[in-house]
């Protein structure tokens, strides 16, 4: 590249050299602060630098929700509205729905042929989930094969990096093993992707347990200001500070991780000092938090209202994203069929 070009910011970004990022989320409906700070915030950052693919893993949702599939469609819409509201940009990232790309199912089937069952049976995330969801019948083939489908998602777009939480690391590991096995058996086709583990802030729900839809302890991006104020008021603070006159410890306070994410550094310093000196009570301190949070959420909520009022725009984003993803998926499948010599020109009726 010529020096002038290197200095030209437009030209210095060599698109072909950009790393490819892929991640997905099961459609769970409206996004909460745990989803935002734990995943979406990171997705937003990555889309500025990399070629990003973000998708709705609706077939994965079906592995556990197969008894109530009719609910999944509504969850997809709500979730994608929040993705757009926080700033995922369809100009920068390919945003799509897994089940709109049937090639994922085809690659999943082929990977199923070369994945040893013991790899799936000893997957720690599988064992954890079986226990956690003991009330559901998950003795299914689909649930056991969950990571094989995930490998198909990732390798279809030849992703280099997969931003995920720790619970998903075994799945990315298995994806690498499946890629290696395919490359060894047929021909080198797939890169071995890496899990991009982000420093995920330890956020709890209003009751002190992990923030999760199933616990009903979430603060949603779309909650009204009144609801947010009320939920913040309920947050568990420092249990070692039973009285207002007792000195508190922000490191023990379950609300404080949210302060860290929402208040400027100077203000934080001030709060730490006055909490430890018992000069600031938890009620007032959480008022400061609620104010800052509402201010930070305001632009997100405004964009959300826009997309709620324009559902066809959301559909259009997905339509375009699906189209782009499908094109890439078709290319990969042509290579896969060629690699396994299944590229017969069969005349379909």
- Burial class from Cβ neighbours inside 10 Å (0-12, 13-18, 19+) for residue 212 reads middle
- Which residue of 28, 150, 322, 332 would you call a contact of ligand TRP, by CB under 6 A? 150
Taking the least distance from each CB to ligand TRP, the nearer of 110 and 254 is 110
- Which residue of 78, 153, 160, 238 would you call a contact of ligand TRP, by CB under 6 A? 153
CB of 17 to ligand TRP, least distance (A): 22
28 sits near ligand TRP (criterion: CB under 6 A): no
231 sits near ligand TRP (criterion: CB under 6 A): no
26 sits near ligand TRP (criterion: CB under 6 A): yes
- Which residue of 20, 21, 24, 263 would you call a contact of ligand TRP, by CB under 6 A? 24
Taking the least distance from each CB to ligand TRP, the nearer of 175 and 206 is 175
Q: Using an 8 Å Cβ cutoff, are 25 and 56 in contact?
A: yes
Report how far Cα 183 is from the mean position of its chain's Cα atoms.
28
Residue owning tokens 């021909």: 187
Q: What stretches of the chain show up as alpha helix (H) in DSSP?
A: 3-7, 9-12, 33-35, 41-47, 58-65, 72-86, 103-114, 117-121, 124-132, 141-144, 146-156, 169-185, 225-234, 256-262, 265-276, 282-309, 311-339
SS3 of 32, please?
A: strand
Span from 104-112, 160-168, 233-241, 247-255 in contact with ligand TRP (CB under 6 A)? 160-168
CB of 167 to ligand TRP, least distance (A): 7
104 sits near ligand TRP (criterion: CB under 6 A): no
- As a whole number of angstroms, the distance between CA 178 and CA 227 comes to 46
Residue owning tokens 């945003």: 95
CB of 336 to ligand TRP, least distance (A): 18
CB of 39 to ligand TRP, least distance (A): 8
164 sits near ligand TRP (criterion: CB under 6 A): yes
Torsion of CA 223, 203, 294, 308, to 10 degrees: -40
CB of 300 to ligand TRP, least distance (A): 21
Q: Using an 8 Å Cβ cutoff, are 53 and 276 in contact?
A: no
Taking the least distance from each CB to ligand TRP, the nearer of 43 and 256 is 43
Q: How many residues bind ligand TRP (CB under 6 A)?
A: 13
Q: Using an 8 Å Cβ cutoff, are 237 and 287 in contact?
A: no
Residue owning tokens 């310093």: 269
- Burial class from Cβ neighbours inside 10 Å (0-12, 13-18, 19+) for residue 272 reads middle
- Which positions from 30 through 59 interact with ligand TRP, judged by CB under 6 A? 57
CB of 79 to ligand TRP, least distance (A): 12
- Which residue of 20, 32, 60, 304 would you call a contact of ligand TRP, by CB under 6 A? 60
Taking the least distance from each CB to ligand TRP, the nearer of 56 and 263 is 56
Span from 10-18, 74-82, 148-156, 308-316 in contact with ligand TRP (CB under 6 A)? 148-156
332 sits near ligand TRP (criterion: CB under 6 A): no
Taking the least distance from each CB to ligand TRP, the nearer of 80 and 154 is 154
168 sits near ligand TRP (criterion: CB under 6 A): yes
CB of 75 to ligand TRP, least distance (A): 13
Taking Cα atoms as reference points, which of 108, 109, 107, 142 lies closest to residue 126? 142
- Sequence-distant (≥ 6) Cβ neighbours of residue 264 within 8 angstroms: none
Taking Cα atoms as reference points, which of 40, 84, 35, 28 lies closest to residue 307? 84
Per-residue mark of binding to ligand TRP, 107-146 (x: CB under 6 A): ----------------------------------------
**Residues contributing to the site for ligand TRP (CB under 6 A):** 22-26, 57, 60, 150, 153-154, 162, 164, 168
């Amino acid at each position: 590249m010529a020096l002038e070009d290197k200095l030209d910011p437009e030209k210095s970004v060599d698109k072909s050299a950009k790393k490819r990022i892929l991640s997905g989320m099961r459609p769970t409906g409206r996004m909460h602060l745990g989803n935002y700070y734990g995943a979406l915030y990171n997705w937003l950052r990555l889309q500025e630098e990399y070629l990003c693919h973000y998708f709705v893993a609706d077939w994965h949702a079906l592995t556990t929700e197969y008894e109530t599939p009719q609910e999944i469609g509504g969850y997809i819409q709500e979730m994608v509205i929040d993705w757009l509201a926080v700033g995922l940009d369809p100009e920068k990232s390919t945003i799509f729905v897994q089940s709109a790309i049937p090639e994922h199912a085809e690659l999943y089937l082929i990977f199923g042929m070369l994945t040893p069952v013991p790899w799936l049976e000893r997957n720690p995330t599988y064992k954890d989930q079986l226990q956690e969801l003991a009330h559901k019948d998950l003795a299914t083939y689909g649930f056991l094969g969950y990571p094989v489908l995930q490998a198909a998602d990732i390798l279809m777009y030849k992703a280099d990096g997969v931003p995920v939480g720790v619970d998903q690391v075994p799945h990315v590991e298995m994806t690498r093993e499946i890629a290696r096995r395919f490359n060894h058996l047929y021909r080198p086709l797939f890169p071995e992707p890496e899990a991009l583990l982000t420093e995920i802030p330890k956020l709890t729900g209003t009751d002190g347990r992990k923030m999760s839809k199933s616990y009903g302890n979430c603060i949603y991006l779309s909650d009204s200001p009144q609801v947010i104020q009320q939920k913040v008021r309920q947050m568990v603070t420092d249990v070692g500070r039973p009285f207002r006159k007792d000195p508190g410890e922000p490191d023990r306070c379950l609300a404080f991780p949210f302060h860290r994410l929402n208040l400027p550094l100077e203000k934080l310093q001030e709060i730490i000092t006055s909490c430890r000196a018992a000069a600031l009570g938890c009620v007032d301190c959480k008022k400061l938090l609620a104010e800052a949070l509402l201010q930070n959420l305001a632009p997100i909520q405004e964009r959300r209202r826009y997309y709620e009022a324009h559902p066809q725009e959301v559909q259009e984003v997905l339509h375009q994203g699906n189209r782009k993803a499908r094109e890439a998926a078709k290319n990969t499948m042509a290579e896969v069929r060629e690699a396994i010599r299944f590229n017969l020109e069969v005349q379909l009726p």
